[in-house]
Structure 1
């Protein structure tokens, strides 16, 4: 059998286990597109699923929801895509018929699920995707950058929920990839002084390069002072711990806004009395279907920089090593990209 008919898949098979297998490529349904995956981001959510700390899909399942690639086959009812189109993938799939889906809010569909979390994901050479879940890449955006559109779109959706006025003081708690994106988005949205709080010196240094006016290292070996209590107009909790939530509540002025983005591994306590007495506005945020086109424009114009966050590269056949490296070298990594093509640089 011709190798081109086969699809190599990496599957999560059990607790922190990944195994490879092959299967025959299936033809797209009438409204599906087959995408040859070119770049895959290794996300913290993937690691949480594998270790049993996130209740999404069940093994065996190929994970992977940060994806970009090339259209290689199209269904007979597909009109908006052609073979050779460069695309990124929106992993969220709604039922398509409920009130939420029909109003453009498929992330609120009670039956929604995500590629790589609930449905087979992009840890494979080829995958079938509904045609409505693709977005065309600008020529100046590389596959590796485009794989990060999924993460960035979640962050931009959170920014849209905030009422940001020019000059507001804002703090981001958490120095992971999303915290670094939030720093950039706050500055782009007109926030005044932006502070990034975290525990890793290299990431905090990058945060300054990306626009943070001040950084605070909470590691015991550092003595930086956090902003004064009740001094901030906006706090974004990108860490998702009980300590980060409490810090956010304490930092905010009365009547201010706390955006909750980081996901705790288990239920945590909240100081509701202080929230009520300070009249704080707590906002949760996840997916944001409306913002995908804006994300790609921001990448193309350089309003948000992705490449500085990409610290490590692996080949597709090294995916197990990439996952192991992500698990064991978390302080050294910001973002790992797995490539299924020669590493592509963005055009100038």
Structure 2
């Protein structure tokens, strides 16, 4: 199928690696609404620029890039205040428009971030989940605060590493069993990475009075909050989304954040399709689609 001509400000990117995450499976399974019933998922990706459209001056063919899949509206107060990562009207590739589980995509040049040769395409594709982890910073937590990240999954480990790389010196990683064994530890903040009613209740128990509960995950299902239970603790509840994408890329390129050990299977289109059909989402390592032959 022939691709449409590039409009001013657009570029064509050859996708080299695209990660699979919960959001992709939720969209494929119909648990979250997408822009069309026949859509292309995929939003954690990197690649090589193969064509540059008119009025693009700072991007060249052959450039290795990672793509920010979050497209802010550009019109709301936070966008005008140069805080587009907080835009409530954003659109996301792979959900609100076609994504990158394909060989080539057309995107705005403004979505591109150059990456060095020292960074693999799979490592670069972690920029999006790192930006999501950086959303925790929107909760305005002091670097010397004592905190915990709940969970043992890849997302939990990545979030913990991001906080450590950002300068948090007193943050630990807790699974549910470890959390149950702690007796009123009084954390200043607790971050969840896989929300449920049980996890929320555990977070309330773990924080000090007036502490911060940070809701980070993007679960489609609901959970219960019992006000009588949490009122005595007077927690501050923060719901966070993304931090600045540039900050995520900077963490990767500075080599201050290790992600190579979180890379899992690298699959062809056929293998990838089979994994999706069977709902095979590895919570410990990230699975990647590698378009073309391996």
Choose from 228, 231, 240 the match for 1:273. 228
Choose from 162, 173, 176 the match for 1:185. 162
For the residues of structure 1 that align with 2:92 and 2:111, how far apart are their CA atoms? 11
Structure 1, residues 75-111: CA drift from partner, whole Å, max 9, x if none?
1111110001111111111232332322223355454
For the residues of structure 2 that align with 1:98 and 1:169, how far apart are their CA atoms? 35
Q: Quick check: 1:152–1:178 contact (8 Å CA) kept in 2?
A: no
Q: RMSD value over aligned CA atoms? A: 2.2
CA shift, 1:298, in A, is: 1.7
Q: Do structure 1's residue 241 and structure 2's residue 196 form an aligned pair?
A: yes
Q: Is the partner of 2:175 in helix, strand or coil?
A: strand
Choose from 94, 109, 114 the match for 1:136. 114
- Partner of residue 287, structure 2: 336
- TM-score, normalising length from structure 2? 0.91
Gaps of 5+ in 1: 1-22, 199-215, 218-223, 344-348
Q: Do structure 1's residue 165 and structure 2's residue 120 form an aligned pair?
A: no
Question: What is the aligned residue count?
Answer: 293
Choose from 286, 298, 303 the match for 2:241. 286
Choose from 61, 64, 69 the match for 2:42. 64
Q: Do structure 1's residue 73 and structure 2's residue 26 form an aligned pair?
A: no
CA shift, 1:305, in A, is: 1.3
Choose from 174, 177, 196 the match for 2:151. 174
- TM-score, normalising length from structure 1? 0.77
Q: Do structure 1's residue 304 and structure 2's residue 281 form an aligned pair?
A: no
Q: Quick check: 2:41–2:99 contact (8 Å CA) kept in 1?
A: yes
For the residues of structure 1 that align with 2:225 and 2:15, how far apart are their CA atoms? 41
Runs of 4+ in 1 over 3 A off after TM superposition: 105-111, 273-276, 328-331
Bigger mean CA offset, 91-100 vs 75-84: 91-100
Bigger relative contact order, structure 1 or 2 (CA pairs below 8 A, ≥6 apart):
2
CA shift, 1:321, in A, is: 2.2
Question: In the superposition, relative to structure 1, how do residues 248 and 56 fare at CA in structure 2: closer, same or farther (>3 Å)?
Answer: farther
Choose from 102, 110, 114 the match for 2:92. 114
- Partner of residue 212, structure 1: none
For the residues of structure 2 that align with 1:93 and 1:265, how far apart are their CA atoms? 21
Q: Quick check: 2:23–2:218 contact (8 Å CA) kept in 1?
A: no
- Partner of residue 208, structure 2: 253
Gaps of 5+ in 2: none
Q: Is the partner of 1:24 in helix, strand or coil?
A: coil
